[in-house]
Amino acid sequence: GNIRFGDIGVFLRDEIKAYFKREGMEIQLKYIDPSYIIRSVPANPKDSVFCLLLGHNAVHAGMAGRTNMVVGYWDSEYTHVPIPLAVSRRKRIDSAGRFWSSVLESTGQPRDLAGPLNSCAAGTEKS
């Protein structure tokens, strides 16, 4: 069937290192396989398409020379958000709201994480 391509992340890491070595510039480049970072339920088709489009936009931004930014999605548009702006404040989620309930439902997490282990860690274990 289909051609099985290698890991693009490893390929890019190796090519970037080789480029800077040829240019005589020393760099520190770390590649972390996303599968080690991402822990979730399998993506549905809508999630897959959304992630594909975020990736496309990130590649286009990188090829255009944009740095120090993340790709976002706001008001039906893909955006380039400067990292300092993206991390300038925390987004708050209502733990009793519909959004958080849907996260718990889709990931299978318990609603109450304040069980015995957490109580002991906080020093509030009941006798």
- Give residue 21's domain range: 1-39
Q: Which residues pair with 74 in a beta bridge?
A: 77
Same domain, 49 and 101: yes
Same domain, 5 and 45: no
Q: How many domains does the chain have?
A: 2
Same domain, 20 and 66: no
Same domain, 72 and 35: no
Same domain, 8 and 66: no
- Alpha carbons 19 and 32: distance in angstroms, whole number: 20
Same domain, 71 and 104: yes
- Stated as kind and residue range, the H or E segment containing 117 is helix 116-122
Confidence of residue 42 (pLDDT cuts 50, 70, 90): confident
Cβ contact 91:110 at 8 Å: no
Q: What pLDDT, in 10s, does the model give residues 58-95?
A: 999 999 999 999 999 999 999 999 999 999 998 888 98
Same domain, 15 and 48: no
**What residues contact residue 99 under an 8 Å CB cut-off, 6+ apart?**
93
Residue 125 is assigned to a structural domain of this protein: no
